[in-house]
Amino acid sequence: MRRLTPPAKHPALEETAVLTSQVIIIGAGAAGLMCAMSAAARGRRVLLLDHANKAGKKILMSGGGRCNFTNLYCEPANFLSHNPHFCKSALARFTQWDFIALVAKHGVPYHEKKLGQLFCDNKSSDILDLLLDECEQAGVDLRLSTSVSEITRVEGGYQLQTSIGPTRCESLVIATGGLSIPTLGATGIGYQIARQFGHSLLPTRAGLVPFTITDPQLKALCSELSGTSVEDCRITCNGQSFVENILFTHRGLSGPAILQISSYWQPGQAISIDLLPRIDLPVWLAEQQRERPNSELKTLLADLFTKKMAGLLAEHWLTSKPMKQYTPGELKVIAERLSDWQLVPAGTEGYRTAEVTLGGVDTREVSSKTMESLKSPGLYFIGEVLDVSGHLGGFNFQWAWASGYAAAQYV
């Protein structure tokens, strides 16, 4: 443990130059703001630092600008972690209903879009504004455009060298997020701090991220269909399945179902796509053959997909001809291809567009009750920097609110 020794001649001047707070939080995103307002509401003196020029940038861009701020059906099963039990305590102590009550308190209008996903009626800034209002009312000292260059363990807490000068605290909270969307200011500083104080890191990778495709034929298909969405496809990989929309892009595949399964996919693995999970395809094809024997397959598929997609599927995969010309074996192959499209993505688009970072600070070295380090007393980790990642649909915000609130009760 390194201790700072003030200059012998002017200890008083050195002491007055240090900005002292009971709690310092690094990172003014969702988790950091929640922790700051909740700790300050308990009467703690809180200094909230962020290197960006604006707080909550990811809040502002989330949900297409309308912020999917929580989910009605939030459960521990909606989260990925090497330690799946870790998230349970915090989620139970600050639930979706607690955040919904906060939203109601501030009069923010919202609606359920689908699958329990709650969005602002107006803009994401409504959520950021309520957090900033709560921080202001509680007396949080928010300093933006402030970088941290060094952290040292000192007697009774921590001392930080920052661009506004030295600061000192009893409790230090790391709410720096992951590596996702670096254009919004994401850095790896939280992981560096964790390592400095003896924490293990689990391998990080992009999650909730589109797939890229390099196979020439498949890439051509995706490119031609770029912008086309297919509703309610079932995507399966590694024993996990999601039924949601997929979106073709110039680079490959995106959309909610793809983003969801990307968190479970490993490089080199195949994903299975059922384009029509709500239809019994063998039965449907037999009916079409019986009732519309002279119609071509691509014409019938245009009832299920866009005309362009039906034509391209028939051209690339299925060989379109009048239904009466198909043998039972050929119809079986068509049904299998549409219901079990086996695809091996080349990779993902990476942190550039990923909504979350998988992996991070090993939760086995952090208290699930307090979020405090088990390696360095007075050091706390909250939000995405931890090895806890949610599904798409408001779950990652709920983890930010819950983990931030949990730490705030003990800092």
Instruction: Please give the average per-residue pLDDT across 23-52, as a whole number.
Output: 98
Residue 9 has pLDDT above 80, yes or no: no
Whether 148 maps to a domain, the answer reads: yes
**How much is the mean pLDDT over the chain?**
94
Note the pLDDT tens digit of each residue in 227-265: 999 999 999 999 999 999 999 999 999 999 999 999 999
Is position 6 within any domain? no
Q: Is the pLDDT of residue 12 over 50?
A: no
Residue 149 counted as domain residue: yes
Instruction: Note whether 331 and 230 are same-domain residues.
Output: yes
Give ∠ CA 162-166-167 in degrees, rounded to 5: 95
Same domain, 104 and 80: yes
User: pLDDT tens across 158-168, in order?
Assistant: 999 999 999 99
Is residue 383 situated within a structural domain? yes
Same structural domain for residues 195 and 241?
Answer: no
Residues 195 and 55 in one domain: yes
Q: Indicate the pLDDT class of residue 37, thresholds 50, 70 and 90.
A: very high
Average pLDDT for 138-157 = 97
| 275 within a domain of the structure (yes/no) | yes
> What's the pLDDT score for residue 15?
47
Q: How confident is the model at residue 16, as a pLDDT?
A: 46
Does one domain contain both 305 and 233?
yes
Q: What is the pLDDT of residue 17?
A: 80
Structure confidence at residue 315 (pLDDT): 81
What pLDDT is recorded for position 10?
40
The answer to whether 22 touches 171, Cβ cutoff 8 Å, is yes
DSSP 140-169: -EEE-S--EEEEEEETTEEEEEETTEEEEE
CATH number, residue 33:
3.50.50.60
The partner residues of 360 in beta bridges, in order of sequence, read: 202
Domain boundary among 314, 349, 384: 349
> Which three-class secondary structure state does DSSP give residue 313?
helix
Q: Is the dihedral of CA 255, 123, 390, 96 positive or negative?
A: negative
Amino acid 355: pLDDT: 96
Report residue 195's pLDDT band, with 50, 70 and 90 as the boundaries: very high
- Give the pLDDT confidence score for residue 226 in this predicted structure: 96
In a domain, 386, yes or no: yes
In the chain, what percentage of residues exceed pLDDT 90? 92
Which range has the worst mean pLDDT, 2-11, 183-192, 316-325?
2-11
Q: Are residues 264 and 132 in the same domain?
A: no
Residues 170, 227 within the same domain: no
pLDDT for res 2: 33
Domain membership of residue 57 (yes or no) is yes
pLDDT above 80 for 384:
yes
Q: How far is it, in rounded angstroms, from Cα 78 to Cα 391? A: 6
Residues spanned by the domain of 305: 210-349
User: Is it the case that residue 357 has pLDDT exceeding 70?
Assistant: yes
pTM of the model: 0.93
- CATH number of 345's domain: 2.40.30.10
Is the same domain home to 161 and 228?
A: no
Mean pLDDT of 370-395: 98
Let me know whether 313 and 364 are in one domain: no
> How many structural domains are present in the chain?
2
Q: Which two tokens stand for residue 287?
A: 């009916």
Burial of residue 47 (CB within 10 Å: 0-12, 13-18, 19+) is buried
Task: Choose the final residue of a domain: 349, 373, 388.
Answer: 349
Q: Edge to edge, what strands does the sheet with 110-112 contain?
A: 68-71, 117-120, 110-112
**Residue 170 shares a structural domain with residue 224:** no
Same domain, 23 and 157: yes
* 81 and 179 belong to one structural domain: yes
- Is 11 within a domain? no
Final residue in a domain of this structure, among 329, 349, 369: 349
Percent of the chain with pLDDT over 70: 96
Predicted pLDDT at 39? 98
Q: What is the pLDDT of residues 288-345, one digit of tens each?
A: 999 999 999 999 999 999 999 999 998 878 888 999 999 999 999 999 999 999 999 9
Say what the pLDDT of residue 260 is.
Answer: 98
Q: pLDDT confidence of 50, banded at 50, 70, 90?
A: very high
Question: In this predicted structure, what is the pLDDT of residue 249?
Answer: 97
